[in-house]
Each structure stands twice: as C-alpha cells, then as structure tokens.
Amino acid sequence: MKSKIILDIEEDELNLFNKQYLSLPELHEEIESLFEQGEKLDKRKKKQVSEWKEKINFLIDMYNTKSKFKTYNKVK
C-alpha cells in the first residue's frame, strides 16, 4: 500500500518546484525576481517570509549546482 502526502500548495508554487530550468540565465532571472519580491515583503508575516525563503533557496541551490563561476549565498 502506497502512502501519499497531501501538501497545501498553491498552483503557482507547485509550478516553481516542477519547472525545468535548463539554463543559468533562466535561473538567474527567477532568483533576481524573487529578491525584488523579498524587498517588498511585510517582514511581520512570518509564514509569507518563510515560504519566500524556501522558494529562493531552492532556486539558489539549483543555480549553485549548475554554475561554476558566480554563486549565490542562501537566504537566512
């Protein structure tokens, strides 16, 4: 019997994690876009900030794995 995990994820969040990023420029654009969004976040909303960090760190890990020259530091 297989167990399934049901996650409470919105469709756009699911697309972020399922998207196949084939090039570093695509990843770079997405990361820079998320950095801009992060500047506009209300830091008092912990859940929103936590979700943003999870998204951007996911992309940063992918970028750093593929890149041999410029790397990003994870967001803490």
Q: Where are the domains of the chain?
A: 23-65
CB 39 within 8 A of CB 64: no
Whole-number pLDDT of residue 6: 46
Q: From first to last of its 76 residues, what are the pLDDT tens digits of the chain?
A: 555 544 554 555 556 556 676 688 888 999 999 999 999 888 888 889 999 999 999 999 989 888 887 788 888 8
Whole-number pLDDT of residue 34: 93
CB 53 within 8 A of CB 47: no
pTM beyond 0.85: the answer is no
CB 53 within 8 A of CB 46: no
| Of 11, 5, 18, 10, residue with least CA distance to 59 | 18
